[in-house]
Amino acid sequence: MRVTGLFVIVFAVLCAALGFGMWAAPEELAGALKVGILAPEGLSTLRGDLGGLFVALAALCFAGVWTRRTVLLQAAALVLFAIVVGRLTGVVDDGLPGGVPRALVIEIAAIVALALHARALGRAQAPERAGLTRVILLVLGLGVAAKLGFSAALANPTVQQKIFERAVAQRMGADNSALLADDALRVAVCGTSAPLPSKARAKACVAVIAGGRFYIVDVGPESVENLMQWGVPLNRIGGVLITHFHSDHIGDLGELNLQTWAQGRPAPLNVYGGPGIDQVVGGFNQAYRIDQGYRTVHHTAKFMPPETWPMVARTVEMTGPATPAKARTGVVLDDGKLKITAIEVDHGPIEPAYAYRFDYKGRSVVISGDIKNHPPLARAAMGADILVSEAIARPMVERMEAGAKGLGRPRVERIMHDIQDYHISPQEAAGLANQAKVKLLVFYHLLPAPDGMIARRTFESGIDAARDGAWTLADDGSLYTLPLESKDVRIGRVPRAP
């Protein structure tokens, strides 16, 4: 009895560690356990459901050994039995994933230990409890039978074909046109990372939606894939605005042009930016020209018309002569309802570098692009509802610089050192937002990408003390809605396309 009791205690400690680990650092533990649901919804599941399950299982084991109550040990064994059945039926559906056999051995051994320890305690179980146990086992058995029957049905080719056809119909019919309803000024963040890689984040990209059209501010690598997955009607693009010509802000420009053209964009795509935009746009046009020819020949000019394919460079000129203060502005577009203003910013030695302000029917948003701590931006953003600002967590990058030095990687060390002097920190951005009296400060172009609870908390350190109002870290898919004829600022997620 001592041996089985000791095994149960050890197993309980392991479950408690896993449960509290899921609550504290789900992403890190998920990687170790090869669990793939790492989207925000998946992390909530790991933290809540799995964390709670393991803690509850540990509590049952501890309580059963401590109180010598067989019913608690039996309950723990039933929970484990359900887990084992779930693993086995999962194998029927998906095959045998790595790591499962070891977990199965531990769980089956724990079930045996729990059963033997409960029996060794020798406590006679009340008849009604025995009946309850039989009912639970019967329900569990029926559930297992249903699961196995469902799995067998999924293995049928006819059923598979029907499921695939339904999925195709849903995917092909995905339409998020409701996002473009003319009842609000909306900001959807398509990419939130800087050049450093992130599995969960595309590079810099922000979509501003107004008047039934959407405008893209920067189009970093992977960002167009987000737009397509969201079911945004790409043919309703109003234009592209480039803040500056770093690769992580222009890398998907060719793909955006291609995909909006393929979805029926009615005219060439206007791309706005500072001096040099003609070179960037011309380069992408040249690189994709052969591809355009293939597609027009293959699909015919009726569906892929060559006259609507190209991008057109629109150089944004600032009013007045250049000064060291970099405080000029220039109007990009003004149709009487929507006004887009380019704002000169300091990202030296990178020139030109612009922020953009959108004003639509009394609501407004400013997107910083990459920027140093630049006081003129506060004046240009005065009274805006939202300031979307890039941010670098310098203490984190300093540690990365030191780590590269310790590993003998001088190139990485130099890059980590250099990038610190031409980006704005979250605390500095908070100061600008306070001066501008903006309602909500949104951080994007996050350097480094704060993927995981610990990294996110580290990145956010000190912002509350610096910011006098609301702020938030954006994720890919964050949606900020400014209803017209209102002062509300609503924070949410891009909805799934119906």
CA 487, CA 145: separation in Å to the nearest integer? 55
Q: What angle do CA 495, 497, 498 make, to 5 degrees?
A: 115
Using CB atoms within 10 A of its CB, is residue 465 exposed (0-12), middle (13-18) or buried (19+)? exposed
Concatenating the DSSP letter of every residue in 415-469 gives: HHHHGGGSS--HHHHHHHHHHHT-SEEEEEEEES---SHHHHHHHHTTHHHH-SS
* Beta-sheet strands, E only, within 51-183: none
Is there a contact between 338 and 208 (Cβ–Cβ < 8 Å)? no
Is there a contact between 451 and 27 (Cβ–Cβ < 8 Å)? yes
Q: Which two tokens stand for residue 318?
A: 């600032």
Among 176, 207, 279, residue whose Cα is nearest residue 444: 207
DSSP assigned state of 122: -
Among 303, 342, 304, residue whose Cα is nearest residue 326: 342
Residues marked as catalytic: 248
- The label of the residue with tokens 């990038």 reads 419
Is there a contact between 222 and 247 (Cβ–Cβ < 8 Å)? no
Q: Which two tokens stand for residue 363?
A: 């609501």
**How big, in percent rounded to 5, are the helix, strand and coil portions of the chain?**
50, 20, 30
Is there a contact between 84 and 107 (Cβ–Cβ < 8 Å)? yes
Concatenating the DSSP letter of every residue in 357-413 gives: EEEETTEEEEE--S--S-HHHHHHTTT-SEEEEEEE-HHHHHHHHHHHHHTT-HHHH
Among 443, 472, 419, residue whose Cα is nearest residue 196: 419
CA 90, CA 84: separation in Å to the nearest integer? 10
Partnered with residue 339 across adjacent β-strands are 334, 359
